[in-house]
Structure 1
Amino acid sequence: MNVFIFGLGFSALAAVEAFAGIGEPVHVAGTVRTAEKAAALRARGIAAHVFDGTAPGPTLGPDLRRASHVVFSIAPGSAGDPALAHHRADLDAAPELEWLCYYSTVGVYGDFGGSWIDETAPLVPRNERSDRRVLAEDEWRDYASERGVPLAILRLAGIYGPGRSSFDKLADGTARRVIKPGQVFNRIHVADIGRVTALAAQKRLAGTFNLADDEPAPPQDLVRFAADLAGVEPPPEVAFDVADMTPMQRSFYADNKRVSNVAIKQALEIELLYPTFRDGLSAIFSEESA
C-alpha cells in the first residue's frame, strides 16, 4: 500500500502510526508546510514534502503519482481545496489510485439545538470555515466520481489526544469552565481517527461518516474531570455571556448538537478505542504520568 497524506499534522500522524500496524507493507509520503517539519519527518522514515497550499509542491509529484491511497487533511481556502487546485494533474496520473479519504468536520451541520443528528441531517453551516468544508466535500465527491474511485468523507468532532487535551490547558493556565446551559460537544480521540482511517483504507470504504465519540457532554465536564485526575483545583465557572473569548472561540458555541457515530461503527464493525471523554482523558493521564 502506497499512502500519500496531504497535511501530516496531529490527526494524520495518528493515521501513519495506525497504518504501521495493519500487517502489510505500507509506504507513507505526504506534505507539511515547512522545510523544518519535512526534515523532522524524513528522519522518522516518512517521505515528507513541503506544500503550503498556495502553490504546487515542487517535489511531491512522483510520490503522489505512485499512491494507491490518498488522505486529505488540510483546510480548504477561499478557492477550494488546495490539493485539488494544485495537484489534480498528479492525481489524474496516479494509475494505481484506489481510495480517497477527506477529513471534514461536524461543523458542516450547524446548530440543531442539542438534538441528535446523523449523516442524513441537512447541512446548515454557520460560519465561513464550515461553508468551505461543505464545498470541499462536494469537490472531492465530484472528483472521486469522475475517477471511479471510492471516497470516504470523515466528519470529525473536536480532536484531542496526548499533548492536546484539557491537561495541557490546565498546565498552561488556559483552561476555563464556560457555562452555557444545555451546551454539549462531541469529541474524538486522535487514536480513533488514526485507527478508523487505516481500517477504512484497507476496506476501501466509501461514503460520508461522522467520527465522534459516544457521549456528547458539556465542555466544563472535561475540565473538571481532568482536574480531578491531575489532583489540581479546576478553574472557576464563568457564564458564557460574560466569558472573555475570541470571536472564533465564541463561534464554536453557536452550534449545539449530539452527533451519532453509529454508521462508521457499523461500516467497520468496531467500537471506538475511547468511546467517552473519560476513557480518553484517563488514558492520556496514564500515558503522560508514566
Structure 2
Amino acid sequence: MRLFVFGLGYTARAFIRAFPWTHVAGTVREDGRAQDLRVQGVAAHPLAEGDGGLWDDLRGAGAILVSAPPDAEGDPTLNRFAERIASSGASWIGYLSTTGVYGDHGGAWIDETTPPAPQSRSSEQRLAAEQAWLDLGRKTGQAVHVFRLTGIYGPGRNAFVSLARGTAQRIVKPGQVFNRIHVDDIAATLVASLSRPRAGAIYNVTDDEPAPPQDVVAYAARLAGAEPPPETAFEAARMSPMALSFYAENKRVSNRLIKDELGVRLRYPTYREGLAALHAAGESNSAA
C-alpha cells in the first residue's frame, strides 16, 4: 500500500516505520527537512513548492494520514488540497486530533460518547477540523477516521530529556491527572485501523492509567539514578500559557474502544512500561 502524509512529523514517522509500505510520500514545511527525508526513502514535498510532484504521489495513495494542525483560517490541508484528496482514490484517511476537544471533566472518566466541550481556541479549531474531515468523508465515500491523542512521548521526547535539560518540574495540583501515549502505540493503533476501516470512526488513543504528572517525573528520575526536582505547588509554578491550559483540564480518558473494536493491545499500557523501555534503550543516560 502507498501512503501519503500531510505533516511528516514525529508521530507520522512512527506510523511509517510500523507498516511495510510500498511507497511513502508527504509534506514538510522546510526544504532542508525534505532533503533529509528523501535520503531516508520518503518522497517529501516542501509546501512552498508547486503541487506537481505532490499530486503524482497523492493520486496513487491508498492511505492518507493528516497530522498537520489547523489554524485560524481552518484546516490548511483541506483548504488547499480537498479536491485532490477527494479524487485521490484513498480508501483510508486518518486525522490526528487531541482529547483536548473534550475540555475539563473534573477528573471524571470520559469516552468517545462524551460530547466535546473545548475550552481553548486551539481545541475549538481541532474540533472544527475534525468535523470538516468527517464531512469530506461523507461527501466522497472515503473512510475518514479521527484519532484523538493524549500526551505523546517516546524516543527523544520524554521525561528523561526534560531532566537532562533541567526543565523538568514536579508541579503538584491536587487531583490533577493526565493520560499519555507512547508514539509506538499510536502507530500500532493506526495500523490496526488500516485493516478494520470504519467510515466516520472516532477513537481515543491513550494509555490505561491517567496519572499525576509529578509521579511520572519522579519515576523517570528514579530510573535514571537522578535527584528529582523538588515538588512545586501549582499556584507557585512558572508555566507557559500552553502548559497552564493543560492544567485547566482534568479528565480520565478511556481507551476501551480501540481495544474492543480494533483489537489493540498496548505495548506500553502505563508510563512505567514506557519509561522502563526508554531507560533500557539508553534514553536516561544524559539525565543521571
Matched, 1:283 2:277: yes
- Whichever residue aligns with residue 78 of structure 1, its letter is A
Matched, 1:255 2:288: no
CA–CA distance in structure 1, aligned partners of residues 225 and 106 of structure 2: 34
Counterpart residue number, 2:3: 3
CA–CA distance in structure 1, aligned partners of residues 106 and 51 of structure 2: 42
Stretch moving more, 196-205 or 115-124: 196-205
- Tell me if structure 1 keeps the 8 A contact 2:192–2:264: no
- Tell me if structure 2 keeps the 8 A contact 1:213–1:274: yes
CA–CA distance in structure 2, aligned partners of residues 269 and 100 of structure 1: 19
Counterpart residue number, 2:40: 44
Superposition CA RMSD, Å: 1.4
Aligned residues: 283
Matched, 1:267 2:273: no
CA–CA distance in structure 2, aligned partners of residues 82 and 175 of structure 1: 33
Question: With structure 2 as the length reference, what TM-score do the two structures score?
Answer: 0.95
The C-alpha deviation readout for 1:127-149, integer Å capped at 9, x for no partner, is 00000000000000100000111
**Which one of 216, 220, 228 corresponds to residue 226 of structure 1?**
220
Stretch moving more, 77-86 or 254-263: 77-86
Counterpart residue number, 2:106: 113
Unaligned runs of 5+ in 1: none
Unaligned runs of 5+ in 2: none
Counterpart residue number, 2:93: 100
CA–CA distance in structure 2, aligned partners of residues 151 and 185 of structure 1: 27
- Tell me if structure 1 keeps the 8 A contact 2:134–2:145: no
Counterpart residue number, 2:15: 15
Matched, 1:72 2:63: no
Matched, 1:28 2:24: yes
CA–CA distance in structure 2, aligned partners of residues 79 and 166 of structure 1: 34
- Whichever residue aligns with residue 18 of structure 1, its letter is A
C-alpha deviation, 1:197, in angstroms: 1.1
- Tell me if structure 1 keeps the 8 A contact 2:192–2:263: no
Counterpart residue number, 2:125: 132
Q: Which SS does the other structure have where 1:90 is aligned?
A: helix
C-alpha deviation, 1:56, in angstroms: 6.6
Runs of 4 or more consecutive aligned structure 1 residues displaced over 4 Å after TM superposition:
55-58
Q: Which SS does the other structure have where 1:125 is aligned?
A: coil
Counterpart residue number, 1:236: 230
The C-alpha deviation readout for 1:148-190, integer Å capped at 9, x for no partner, is 1111110000000010000000000000000000000000000
Counterpart residue number, 1:199: 192
Q: Which SS does the other structure have where 1:19 is aligned?
A: coil
The C-alpha deviation readout for 1:213-238, integer Å capped at 9, x for no partner, is 00000000010000000000000000
C-alpha deviation, 1:196, in angstroms: 1.1
CA–CA distance in structure 1, aligned partners of residues 265 and 80 of structure 2: 37
Question: With structure 1 as the length reference, what TM-score do the two structures score?
Answer: 0.94
